[in-house]
Structure 1
C-alpha cells in the first residue's frame, strides 16, 4: 500500500499539431515528473483524453510510459467504463506487464443506484489481476458513490486497496477516512482540497496540477503527511491560483497550457475538447514564468 501514499499524477497524452500522439513529449513529461519526485504515475485516465484514443494509440502510450519510466516509479493503469462486462473482458485480456494497480472509475452516464455501483465494482474486484483503486468523480459520472458504498467495497474486497475520492466533499471524505479498514487508502482526486484531506488522514492525491509542478506539489503532500502544516500551506496557497486556472475551462486544456509554457509539449487537444481561450492561456503563461514560493 505504501507505493500509493503521496503524490500520483494523472498523465496527459501530448499530441502533435497533426493530432498524432507526441511520443517524445510524453517521454519528457514522464522524466520531468520522475525528477520532480512524485511517488507514482497514472496512465490512460481522464486527463489522458483516453476516450479519444484508439486501441493502437493506447498501447503506444502504455509502451512509451513504461520505457520512459524504466522501473523507477509504480505505474497505475486506467481501466474503467459503463459496460461492466466489457471492463471484465479487458481485465482478463489486457497486458498489464509493468503496472502495479488499476484505477477504475465509477460507471458514468448510466447513473446506477448504489447497489449497481457496488455490483459493478464487485465484478471488477473478482476479475482484476492487480490491486484496484476505485474512483468516485460525480462531476463526470453523473452519480455519487456514497461513503457507505465505498466502505462496503473496502471491507468486502481486500484487493480494492484505495479510493480516489473526487466528489469535492470533504465531509464525505472524512466519513470514509474515519470508518475505513486500517490499510485502505483514501486518495484525493481534487487538487484544491488535497492538503485538508491529507491532514484529515488521507493518503495523498492523484493530481493534475502535480504533473505541471511536481516538485512543489509532491513536497506539499509530504509535508502534510509529516504534519508540517504551516510549511505545507505555504506551498498550497502559492499554487492555488494555478489550480483554479487549469480547471477554469476544463481538463486537460489548462494543464496542457502549463506544459506549453514550460516547453515540454504542445497544447493540442482532440475534439470534443478545445484549447482554453487567449486570455486564460496568457494568465497561465504569466503564472508559470513568475511562479515562486515566497
Structure 2
C-alpha cells in the first residue's frame, strides 16, 4: 500500500476531433502527470470514459499508458460494473501483469442491498489476481457502501485492501476510518475531501484535478500527509475554485477543458457527455493562468 500513498490520478482518455482515441495526447497526459510529481496512475476509470470505449480501444489505452509510463509509477486499472459474472470472467482472463491493483466501482443502476454489494465484491476478490480497491460513489451508482459493509469485506477478504471513498460525507468518512481494521486504507475519491480525509487518517486521493495541476495537488497532499496542515489547507483553499469549476458541467468535460487550455489535448468527450461550454472553458482557462501559489 505504500505505492498508493499520496496522489493518484484518474486519467482521461483524450480524443481527436473525429472522436477517435488520441494516442499522442494520452502520452502527453501521462508524461505531464509523471513530470508533475504524481504518485500513481489509474487507467480506465470513470474519468477515462471507459464505458464509451470498445474492447480494442481499451487495449490501446492500456498499451499506451504502460508504454509511456515505462515502469515509472505504480498503475491501477479500473474493472467494475453491474454484471458480477461478467466481471469475474474479465478478472480471470485479463492480463494484469503491469498493474498493482484493481479499482472496482460498486454496482450501479441495479441498486443492490448491502448484502448484494458484499457478495459481489467477495466473489470478485476470490478470483482477482491483484488486490482490489473498492470504489464508493453513490452519486453515480445510486447506492452507498456503508462503513459496516466495508468493514465486513476488509475482515473477510484479504485481497480487498482499500476503498476509494467518494460519498462526499465527511461524517461517513470519519466513521469509516475509525472502524476499518489495521492494514485497510481509505483513499479520497473527491478532490474537495482529499485533504480533510488525509487529516482524519486517510492515505491520499485518486484525483481528477491533479492530472491538470499535478505539482500543486501533489504538494498539497504531501504537506497533509507530513502533518503540515496549515500550509496544506492554504493550498487546498487556493485550489478549491478549480475543484469546483471542473465539475460544474460534469466530469471529464472540465478537466479536458484544462488540457485544452494547456495545449495538451482537445476537450472532446463522447456522447452522452458534451464538451464544456465556451463560457466555462474561459473561466477554467483563467483559473489555470492566474493560479499563483508558490511551489
The TM-score with structure 2 as length reference comes to 0.99
Aligned ranges 1:222-261 → 2 under 5 Å: 222-261=222-261
How far the C-alpha of 1:97 sits from its partner, in A, is: 2.1
Q: Would you say 1:273 and 2:270 are equivalent positions?
A: no
Q: Would you say 1:58 and 2:55 are equivalent positions?
A: no
Residues 14-38 of structure 1, C-alpha deviation per residue, up to 9 Å, x if partnerless? 0000111000000011011111111
For structure 1, which runs of at least 5 residues remain unmatched after alignment? none
- Retained in 1: the 8 A contact 2:81–2:105? yes
How far the C-alpha of 1:277 sits from its partner, in A, is: 1.2
Q: What is the aligned partner in structure 1 of residue 135 from structure 2?
A: 135
Q: Would you say 1:72 and 2:75 are equivalent positions?
A: no
Aligned ranges 1:62-141 → 2 under 5 Å: 62-141=62-141
State the SS of the aligned residue for 1:151: helix
In 1: Cα distance, 2:81 partner to 2:193 partner: 26
How far the C-alpha of 1:182 sits from its partner, in A, is: 1.2
In 2: Cα distance, 1:211 partner to 1:155 partner: 33
How far the C-alpha of 1:204 sits from its partner, in A, is: 0.4
Residues 105-143 of structure 1, C-alpha deviation per residue, up to 9 Å, x if partnerless? 000000000000000000110010000001000000000
In 2: Cα distance, 1:4 partner to 1:133 partner: 10
How far the C-alpha of 1:218 sits from its partner, in A, is: 1.0
How far the C-alpha of 1:76 sits from its partner, in A, is: 0.2
State the SS of the aligned residue for 1:265: coil
Q: What is the aligned partner in structure 1 of residue 39 from structure 2?
A: 39
State the SS of the aligned residue for 2:251: coil
How far the C-alpha of 1:292 sits from its partner, in A, is: 1.0
In 2: Cα distance, 1:170 partner to 1:158 partner: 26
In 1: Cα distance, 2:109 partner to 2:161 partner: 25
Q: Which runs of 4+ in 1 moved over 6 A?
A: none
- Retained in 2: the 8 A contact 1:37–1:218? yes
Q: What is the aligned partner in structure 1 of residue 155 from structure 2?
A: 155
How far the C-alpha of 1:271 sits from its partner, in A, is: 0.4
State the SS of the aligned residue for 2:247: helix
In 2: Cα distance, 1:124 partner to 1:117 partner: 11
In 2: Cα distance, 1:45 partner to 1:104 partner: 9
- Retained in 2: the 8 A contact 1:47–1:208? yes
Q: What is the aligned partner in structure 2 of residue 218 from structure 1?
A: 218
What is the Cα-based RMSD across aligned positions, in Å?
Answer: 0.7
State the SS of the aligned residue for 2:292: coil
State the SS of the aligned residue for 1:108: coil
For this pair of structures, how many residues does the alignment match?
A: 294
For structure 2, which runs of at least 5 residues remain unmatched after alignment? none
Q: What is the aligned partner in structure 1 of residue 28 from structure 2?
A: 28
Q: Would you say 1:6 and 2:6 are equivalent positions?
A: yes
How far the C-alpha of 1:199 sits from its partner, in A, is: 0.2
Aligned ranges 1:159-198 → 2 under 5 Å: 159-198=159-198
- Retained in 2: the 8 A contact 1:234–1:293? no
